[in-house]
Structure formats: C-alpha cells, structure tokens
Amino acid sequence: MNNEKDEIVFGAKRGGVTWLYRFESRADFEKTKAGAERLGQSLAQWLCKHPSDIPPTQRRFTFKDLEASTLKVQITQCDEFTRKCLERQVALYGYESVEQFIAKTALNILENLEEDTVLDPRTGEAIMTYSESGDYIGCNVDDDAPNPPPYQLGRMPIPRGAIVETCV
C-alpha cells in the first residue's frame, strides 16, 4: 500500500463498530482526508457521518429551483449529427426547442450535482463530493458494541494493512 495507485482501506471506528471504506488510490484518500479537515473534522468523523458531525451548509440548487430558474441557452455552433440527436430528444420528451431541452437538462444535472457536493459551511465553496468519500465495504463489530448495526450492513474482519482511526 505504498504505491500512489494502490487502494487503501480505511476504518472509522465509533461505538465499537469499525466502518470500512475502500479508496481506489492514495490520491483519492488524501483528497477526502483534506476535505474532511477543511470541514474541521477528522476523516473518521466524516465517514462516520454522525448527524452532530455534519456542519450546517449553504443553500443549494434544488428541485424547487428548477421551475424558478431563468436560465436561457443560445447555441452558437453545433454540428449536424449532434443537432439531429438533440432534436430527437426534444421530440421524444416534448420540449419546444433544442435550447429549452438543453437548459432543462442542465438544471436537472445541476440539481443532482449540488445534492452530491460537500460545501464549505462558511463560504459555500465546493470542497468534495459525497460520492468520492470512499466506497463502503462493510463493518467490523466489537463483541461489546453497545448498538451493533444489523447484519445486512455486511460484517467482515478488518483487512490486513487497513488504517483505522477512532471517531472522537
């Protein structure tokens, strides 16, 4: 696990349960760790995601903003094949124009991306995404854990070489 591209398994331990996450590379691990630190949290606190650990956030673009948005799109250049593909989507979904289709699609994508983005609670700046915070692979439960999670969450031993940090 000393190569930049090697995956890293990280365990965040809270209440006798070690929540295990896999990061595809050291770079992914370090990026998430830095993002957690910008939020004033350890990586373990971030991955445990106890409600009291998640700071309040800035306003996000949500589905409620879709209809209120005044986004207008103007196509200045488009090749014939791309236009043909866009026009068939316009016809299929019943939009009035390619421009309207692009605007509505962009707003839909924006809403989805905003939901996945971790924002700095002070500035509203994007720090990282929730989906880049490692892949949950299972948990290890101590025999004396006060509130063990259900078995459906995938219990497993802590892999050799895993980095484990306790939430405080």
The token duo for 118 is 């971790």
> Which pLDDT belongs to residue 3?
47
In the predicted structure, residue 145 carries a pLDDT above the cut 50: yes
Domain regions of the chain by residue span: 8-56+122-166, 63-114
CB count in 10 Å sphere of residue 112: 12
Which tens digits make up the pLDDT trace of 77-117?
A: 999 999 999 999 999 999 999 999 999 999 999 999 998 88
> Which pLDDT belongs to residue 85?
97
**Paired strand residues for 163:** 10
DSSP 79-98: -HHHHHHHHHHHHHHT-S-H
Between the two ends of the chain, the Cα-to-Cα distance in Å is 26
* CA distance linking residue 22 with residue 162, whole number of Å: 9
SS3 at position 130? helix
**Paired strand residues for 135:** 22
